Chains A and B, each alone.
Chain A
Amino acid sequence: MTNNLSTDNLTFECETGNYHTFCPISCVAWLYQKIEDSFFLVIGTKTCGYFLQNALGVMIFAEPRYAMAELEEGDISAQLNDYKELKRLCLEIKQDRNPSVIVWIGTCTTEIIKMDLEGMAPRLETEIGIPIVVARANGLDYAFTQGEDTVLAAMVHRCPTETLTENTKKHPSLVLFGSLPNTVANQLNMELKRHNIEVSGWLPSHRYLDLPHLGENVYVCGINPFLSRTATTLMRRKKCKLICAPFPIGPDGTRAWIEKISSVFGIIPQGLEEREQAIWESLEDYLQLVRGKSVFFMGDNLLEISLARFLISCGMIVYEIGIPYMDKRFQAAELALLETTCKKMNVPLPRIVEKPDNYHQIQRIRELQPDLAITGMAHANPLEARGINTKWSVEFTFAQIHGFTNARDILELITRPLRRNQALGTLGWSQLIKTDN
């Protein structure tokens, strides 16, 4: 039903794209943990390695299942043979770790020197006997979480084809895509099970060897807003049917998500409204803190639309939604829900700024003085020193935020700066810079 609403009233702008975000290769940080039998090899330079090492902090010391194939001058000038070099490294990885799959992450450098990773992978795969999946998660084309999108899109091709003998079920197969911690994936499975919807698989599963069966009769549904390439690949290459729903972030989003899936399978969900209501009631202590407060999303991880929609439901006012990339088709249902939510809560529609310019955004933040700015770590401390409350956006990608069960965790994050400042509120030193420049 939400699909019929147009999105004409939302305004979309596009700025210069000079904004801060993580490099998409950061997706190895959570994907290697999610896919337990994988090994991620990032083919890039010292710059990539330095980013991973600093961004992933402590994890590097736990003997991670990822590594850099660090390109040296000889590789760039083609004095060394790429194929032989990669073979040497992959054999080393096979010997030390024996993974079920090696994922090659192409970077800016491999793009520029046009290293033919997609061409080399199948040859090497047969030679060493381990599947090699190639994902081009580079900063030339993508931002932060889109890295996961490129990896999952590449994995779609490796999913086995659905066999028709499985057609004995109550409804067609449903495969959910998007990487979530196993706990959260279980929670969503169970949420659907209450309405007699059986999830037949996840992309990615927690083992590469358990990738879901895909095919013409399989319905797929995304759980994160940044998975548009994966969605396209599922539809075009595996002929899957995409269920375009809002994302299960916040109780409102989760309910809309379940409703949409149910409606596709002709199921009328029972007790869903009560369940949503109960969750909202349990959040009341946090809601009291956020009601009427204003938020500014600087934009860096593509979760912004869903989070903004949830926060508006919570009674907040959103001034601006910065977002690296806006796929209006994949997010259509989410955008529609954003619009109805704004109307329902009687707040103005926020402006959506694609490819934002951080410098201009900071000028706007200075003018608007929002109660909370959701921003990357590069700007958080400087904004705090100028008396603007901030929440690091990266935490939303690493925290558990999906489903009914975790709605509280989102608000826990959102309200943390507000609660902290309640505690420090009367001390009188919120501006901590000498001269504003």
Chain B
Amino acid sequence: MKLAYWMYAGPAHIGTLRVASSFKNVHAIMHAPLGDDYFNVMRSMLERERDFTPVTASIVDRHVLARGSQEKVVENITQKDQQQKPDLIVLTPTCTSSILQEDLQNFVNRASLESNSDVILADVNHYRVNELQAADRTLEQIIRFSVEKARKNNVLNTEKTIKPSANILGIFTLGFHNQHDCRELKRLLNDLGISINEIVPEGGSIKNLKNLTKAWFNLVPYREVGLMAANYLQNEYSMPYVGITPMGIVDTANCIREISTIIKNQNPDIEFNTEKYIDQQTRFVSQAAWFSRSIDCQNLTGKKAVVFGDATHAASMTRILAREMGINVSCAGTYCKHDADWFREQVQGFCDQVLITDDHTQVADMISRIEPSAIFGTQMERHIGKRLDIPCGVISAPVHIQNFPLGYRPFLGYEGTNQIADLVYNSFTLGMEDHLLEIFGGHDTKEAITKSLSTESGCSWSPDGLAELKKIPGFVRGKVKRNTEKFARERNITEITVEIMYAAKEVIGA
């Protein structure tokens, strides 16, 4: 047992549901007790999703505990099949169902005989993998299932497209700025003359997975999700993949170079002026290269920063800060413990120390020890920063509704470099302001002369009234106080008691 208040990565089934519900016309059925369908709330609230989340629960209750699920799961699957006619139904085990040790695979086999849709059981162990690992595995599982089915039916399309083309693997629901990143990647590939074959799983259709093998290569923008699928396609269908995250100027260029190598390997005749494109974009389209040379950025030189997040974003961010902006990254860390070796290798030479942990108190202790000028982390680090009065830019999941902006905010590609530069610059106290604060010791040295609006009310507060007033949250207390005093004045009441307060609320809504 472990005493825990907060966690960075969610339980395994969340990863499975994120992947399944990102596909079009795929329905997930959780084998779970009442209340475990909290995923639907997150998707509907955080992503402001307009459609009903295609996830239902086959409820595990007392009866199931006593007698087993029996027909229940099969019935729920076949019913969903009739109601919504999905292409694929993914039966998703949860922590509860994995202890029950029912033979879910058997249910799946029976249900797939009776339903028109395909049915699979998500193969994830709740006690061994987290949300991200489960998502990676489920994506691979669905792709493998669909591709193999297509091959069996002789409809698998292995003939490559005439023009170079790519699949993007790993864009999915509730991902950190994934929608914006996807748009940016499409633009980048389009600029390079590469067409998009399939984007999986977000908005993808199961029926189209048979076309995956038409692409010349796969692009896996995030380390956490998509690599397993890319490896499967590489091993079985010799499809190469690019695993360099195009985040920051240097890595975007590296990613493009890798893409061009892969394409030239497949067809040496293709005209591909990579270096000219990179140079053009770096110097004139992206503002980040110029920004790092401008005098603004000089003030950031040597300032201390701490980076923490998932492996992809934390590693990329560390390199951007150190290599592209001259900022001193005192500590870089990730909660992806399963990928610790890769992370260490990526940030080697770009930071003073590495922290691998999923315990937020360790991160908080480290930050308060280092006292950086800015933090780049998750929502948790933002709150740690608030407590310590250190600014924080959010660069990675776990996310919050604020991390689903309506405006265009990619982290990848050349537009991404601009966004990151803004984020970094705005997180540090602005240069000139910083100097002035140092010289004069504060923003406003004159003591403000304030006038309380309710001083001349002529009524006093009884101790119980005052105590009650103190219970009212700070941000409305002033309003309640003023309204109550007004109410009292109008009725010539001199002492405000609790009763008067309640009466005021009833009459004027104070």
**B468: chain A residues within 8 A (beta carbon):** 183, 186
Q: Which residue of A lies closest to B99 (CB)?
A: A112
Contact B3 A67 (CB under 8 A): yes
- CB-based contact A54/B3 at 8 Å: no
Q: Are B6 and A404 in contact (CB-based, < 8 A)?
A: no
Query: Would you call B44 and A109 a contact (CB within 8 A)?
Result: no
What's the minimum C-beta distance from B38 to chain A, rounded to whole angstroms? 5
Nearest-Cβ distance from residue A135 to partner chain B, whole angstroms: 15
A61 proximal to B (CB < 8 A)? yes
- The CA of A137 and the CA of B35, in the complex, are separated in Å by 11
Bound form: Cα–Cα A190–B505 in Å: 14
Closest to A358 in B: B56
In the complex the two chains form, is B57's CB within 8 Å of A71's CB? no
Question: What B residues does A86 contact at CB under 8 A?
Answer: 1
Indicate if the CB atoms of A108 and B59 lie closer than 8 Å.
Answer: no
The answer to whether B2 touches A140, judged by C-beta atoms less than 8 angstroms apart, is no
**In the bound complex, do residue A23 and residue B38 qualify as a contact, i.e. CB atoms below 8 Å apart?**
yes
Residue among B6, B14, B48 with max Cβ neighbours from chain A (10 Å): B6
- State in angstroms the CA–CA spacing of A380 and B52 once bound together: 9
- In the assembled complex, the CB of A11 is this many whole angstroms from the nearest CB of chain B, namely 24
Distance A433 CA – B52 CA, assembled complex (angstroms): 11
A222, CB-defined interface residue at 8 Å: no
Partner of B33, one of A43, A139, A187, A381: A139
CB distance from A410 to the nearest CB of B (A): 13
* CB-CB under 8 A for A73 and B128, given A51-B38, A139-B35: yes
Report the separation of the CA atoms of residues A47 and B6 in the bound assembly, to the nearest whole angstrom: 12
0 or 1 for each of B1-14: is its CB under 8 Å from A? (1 = yes) = 11111110011011
Nearest CB in chain B to that of A363: its residue: B83
Q: Which residues of B contact A143 (CB under 8 A)?
A: 34-35
Contacting residues, chain A, for B285 (C-beta < 8 A): none
Q: B64-91 CB contact bits vs A (8 Å, 1 = yes)?
A: 0100000000001000000110000000
Contact with B along A342-372 (1 / 0, CB 8 A): 0000000000000000010010000000000
Q: B2, B48, B84, B126 — which one has the most chain A CB atoms within 10 A of its CB?
A: B2
Q: Is the CB of B3 within 8 A of A92?
A: yes
B499 touches A190 (CB 8 A): yes
Q: Could you tell me if B34 and A139 are in contact, using CB atoms closer than 8 angstroms?
A: yes
On whether the beta carbons of A21 and B41 are closer than 8 Å, the reply is no
- If A73-B128, A108-B60, A109-B95 touch, whether A60 touches B40 (CB-CB below 8 Å) is no
CB distance from A191 to the nearest CB of B (A): 9
Q: In the complex, what residue of chain B is closest to A381 when comparing beta carbons?
A: B44
A378 in the interface (beta carbon within 8 A): yes
**CB of A49 closer than 8 Å to a CB of B:** yes
**Chain A residue with the shortest CB-CB distance to B10:** A50
Q: Is the CB of B11 within 8 A of A46?
A: yes
Q: Is A210 an interface residue (CB 8 A)?
A: no
Taking a contact as CB atoms under 8 Å apart, the answer to whether B35 and A379 are in contact is no
Task: Indicate the size class of the contact surface on chain B.
Answer: 35 or more
- Check A376–B99 contact: CB distance below 8 A: no
A112 touching B100, Cβ below 8 Å = yes
A54 touches B61 (CB 8 A): no
The verdict on A106 contacting chain B, using a C-beta distance below 8 Å, is no
Say yes or no: A21-B2 contact (C-beta < 8 A), given A45-B11, A54-B42, A381-B44: no
List B contacts of A46 (CB < 8 A).
7, 10-11, 95, 126, 130
- B-facing residues in A125-148 (Cβ within 8 Å): 138-144
A108 touches B96 (CB 8 A): yes
Partner of A53, one of B7, B96, B502: B7
Contact A141 B62 (CB under 8 A): yes
**Are B49 and A381 touching (Cβ within 8 A)?**
yes
Closest A-chain residue to B55, C-beta based? A378
Within 8 A of B (CB), among A84-105: 85-86, 88-89, 92-93
Please tell me if the beta carbons of B2 and A69 are within 8 angstroms of each other in the complex: yes
For residue B203, give the distance in angstroms from its CB to the closest CB of chain A.
12
**Known contacts A190-B499, A405-B506, A378 near B65 by CB under 8 Å:** no
B365 shortest CB reach to chain A, Å: 14
Q: B52 to chain A: which residues have CB within 8 Å?
A: 362, 379, 382
Given contacts A69-B3, A92-B3, A381-B45, contact A113 B62 (CB under 8 A): no
Q: Give chain B nearest CB distance to A163 CB in angstroms.
A: 28
Which chain B residue lies CB-closest to A54? B42
From the candidates B50, B56, B502, name the one contacting A381 in the complex (CB within 8 A): B50
Q: Which of A186, A381, A382 has the most CB of B within 10 A?
A: A381
Contacts of B383 in A (CB 8 A): 61
From known contacts A47-B95, A141-B62, infer whether A76 and B11 are also in contact, taking CB-CB under 8 Å: no
Residue of A nearest to B25 (CB): A437
> In the bound complex, do residue A22 and residue B35 qualify as a contact, i.e. CB atoms below 8 Å apart?
yes
Min Cβ gap B75→A in Å is 9
Question: Nearest Cβ in chain A — how far from B176, in angstroms?
Answer: 15
Interface residue? B407 (CB, 8 A): no
Residue contact A437 to B51, C-beta cutoff 8 Å:
yes
Interface string of B123-154 (1 = CB under 8 A from A): 00011101000000000000000000000000
Is A13 part of the contact surface with B, judged by Cβ < 8 Å? no
User: Is B94 located at the chain interface by the 8 A CB criterion?
Assistant: yes
Q: Is A55 an interface residue (CB 8 A)?
A: yes
Decide if B34 touches A282 in the complex (CB within 8 Å): no
With contacts A112-B65, A187-B502, A381-B44 taken as known, whether A68 is within 8 angstroms of B51 at the C-beta atoms is: no
Nearest-neighbor residue (CB-CB) of A57 within chain B: B400
B403-437 CB mask vs A (1 if < 8 Å, else 0) is 00000000000000000000000000000000000
Give the distance in Å from the alpha carbon of A140 to the alpha carbon of B84 in the complex. Answer: 27
Q: Is B507 engaged at the interface, CB distance under 8 Å to the other chain?
A: yes
CB distance from A41 to the nearest CB of B (A): 8
User: B53 is contacted by which of A69, A112, A378 (Cβ under 8 Å)?
Assistant: A378
A17 to B56, CA, bound (A): 11
Instruction: Report the minimum CB–CB distance from B466 to chain A (whole Å).
Output: 14
Q: How far is the CB of B66 from chain A (nearest CB, A)?
A: 10
Q: Are B56 and A140 in contact (CB under 8 A)?
A: no
Provided the pairs A23-B38, A46-B7, A433-B51 are in contact, do residues A80 and B1 lie with their beta carbons within 8 angstroms? yes
Q: Determine if B37 is an interface residue (Cβ-Cβ < 8 Å).
A: yes
A72 located at the interface, meaning its Cβ lies under 8 Å from any Cβ of chain B in the complex: yes
Of residues 469 through 510 on chain B, the ones whose CB sits less than 8 Å from some CB of chain A are 471, 498-499, 502, 505-507, 509
> Judging by beta carbons under 8 Å apart, are B4 and A71 in contact?
no
Is B36 an interface residue when CB atoms closer than 8 A count as contact? yes
The chain B residue with its CB closest to the CB of A434 is B50
Residues from chain A with a CB closer than 8 A to the CB of B130 are 46
CB atoms of A45 and B126 under 8 A apart: yes
Separation of A138 and B96 alpha carbons in the complex (Å) = 11
> Contact at B44–A144, with CB atoms within 8 Å?
no
Given A183-B471, A186-B468, A381-B48, A139 contacting B2 (CB threshold 8 A): no
Report whether B49 and A89 are in contact in the complex, using a CB–CB cutoff of 8 Å: no
Q: How far is the CB of B385 from chain A (nearest CB, A)?
A: 11
In the bound complex, how far is the Cα of B505 from the Cα of A405, in angstroms? 7
Interface string of B252-282 (1 = CB under 8 A from A): 0000000000000000000000000000000
Let me know if A377 and B506 touch, CB within 8 A: no
Residues of B with C-beta under 8 A to A21: 34-35
Answer yes or no: A18 CB below 8 A from chain B CBs: yes
Contacts of B53 in A (CB 8 A): 378, 382
**Could you jot down 15 A-B contacts, CB within 8 Å?**
A22-B38, A45-B95, A46-B11, A49-B4, A54-B42, A60-B6, A69-B1, A69-B2, A72-B1, A92-B3, A93-B3, A138-B33, A140-B65, A379-B52, A433-B51
Given A68-B3, A108-B60, A382-B53, 5 other A-B residues pairs in contact with their CB atoms under 8 A: A68-B5, A72-B1, A113-B99, A140-B65, A190-B498
Using a CB–CB distance below 8 Å, which chain B residues touch chain A? 1-7, 10-11, 13-14, 32-38, 40-42, 44-45, 48-53, 56-62, 65, 76, 83-84, 94-96, 99-100, 126-128, 130, 383, 468, 471, 498-499, 502, 505-507, 509
Closest 3 CB pairs of A and B: A23-B35, A139-B33, A378-B40
